[in-house]
Amino acid sequence: MDFVQLRAAMVAELEEQGIHDTAVLQAMNTVPRELFVPEEYLEHAYDNGPIPLPTKQTISQPFVVALMLVALKLKPHFNLLEIGTGSGYAAAVASLLVRQVHTIERQEKLVPYAKTRLNQLGYANIAVHLGDGTLGWPAAAPYDAIVVAAGGPAVPASLRDQLGENGRLIMPVGSYKKQKLRLVWRRADGRFGQKTLTPVRFVPLIGSEGWAEGD
Ligand code: SAH
């Protein structure tokens, strides 16, 4: 399989679907998605759809990864927090667009999986943490951007509070199985603006400011 060609075709498809941010497209044309998918899904690495991970989780659809990163208006000096490391794919893409990525995963099994890959591939500006991401990662706050890769009933207050001035957060908000992307930003007066974007389907955000386990 010619992964370079498949990657370029995926990026061309993203452009056709309305992603025009050249930095995001370039990053997605760089990260080897085939190295983040479980081996049995290798031939689907560049399909524009989600891919199953161990422990019933999924690697998000490339279009949705792109859409969320574009909405955050990332800049090279940004400190970014991701909730839901999963395979580490989205963190790898984001790491090419910002100074530092902190990413949190609650499933103990998935953390070494992501860490090993990211280290082997030489992504030096990503810190992978094990924990409940609904509480954020206060030690490295404030963040210029926060991306939540799992769907919750509301935007956790802890995450909102860890946004810096003009910081932007994007997260799927809705029911256990169906959500809409919600964009939240901290204004200069300290208050928050918000906007609801497109419908999506993410795995549930489970934690003290998300869904209860087994909901
Ligand atoms: N960004 C990932 C896809 C993530 S799927 C990738 O590119 O592969 C969503 C992930 O969020 C799952 O791995 C799930 O275990 C994790 N998750 C759910 N609730 C969480 C929480 N409260 N804190 C951290 N991770 C959480």
Residue 94 tokens, joined: 């984001």
Query: For residue 27, what are the CA distances in angstroms to 85, 144, 181?
Result: 17, 19, 22
For residue 59, what is the domain's CATH number?
A: 3.40.50.150
pLDDT value, residue 31? 98
pLDDT value, residue 214? 74
CA angle 133, 134, 139 (to 5 degrees): 60
* Average pLDDT over all residues of the chain: 96
Distance of CA 90 to the CA centre of its chain: 5
Is the pLDDT higher at 190 or at 8? 8
Cα Rg of the chain, angstroms: 16
Ligand 1 site, CB within 6 A: 57-60, 83-84, 86-87, 89-90, 104-107, 110, 132-134, 149-150, 203, 205-207, 210
Flag whether 30 is in a domain: no
pLDDT value, residue 206? 98
- pLDDT (average), residues 118-140: 98
pLDDT value, residue 139? 98
Residue 202 tokens, joined: 């993410």
pLDDT bucket at 121, cuts 50 / 70 / 90: very high
**Tens digits of residue pLDDT in 50-108:** 999 988 899 999 999 999 999 999 999 999 999 999 999 999 999 999 999 999 999 99
Flag whether 148 is in a domain: yes
- Of the residues 60, 87, 95, 158, only one is catalytic, namely 60
pLDDT value, residue 60? 94
Judged by DSSP in three states, 5 sits in: helix
Distance in angstroms (rounded) separating the CA atoms of residues 127 and 115: 8
Which residues span the domain enclosing 99? 50-200
Number of domains in the chain: 1
pLDDT value, residue 54? 86
207 Cα to the center of ligand 1, angstroms: 11
Flag whether 5 is in a domain: no
pLDDT value, residue 102? 98
Distance in angstroms (rounded) separating the CA atoms of residues 78 and 117: 23
- pLDDT (average), residues 136-140: 98
Half-sphere exposure of 86 (CA within 13 A, CB side): 31
pLDDT value, residue 215? 63
Flag whether 208 is in a domain: no
Flag whether 13 is in a domain: no
pLDDT value, residue 93? 98
> Do the Cβ atoms of 185 and 169 come closer than 8 Å?
yes
Within 102-208, residue ranges assigned H as helices are 110-120, 157-161
pLDDT value, residue 23? 98
**Tens digits of residue pLDDT in 196-206:** 999 999 999 99
> Do the Cβ atoms of 122 and 140 come closer than 8 Å?
no
Strands 143-148 and 100-105: what pairing? unpaired
Flag whether 168 is in a domain: yes
Can 60 be counted among the known catalytic residues? yes
Flag whether 15 is in a domain: no
Cβ neighbours, 10 Å, residue 165: 12
Flag whether 63 is in a domain: yes
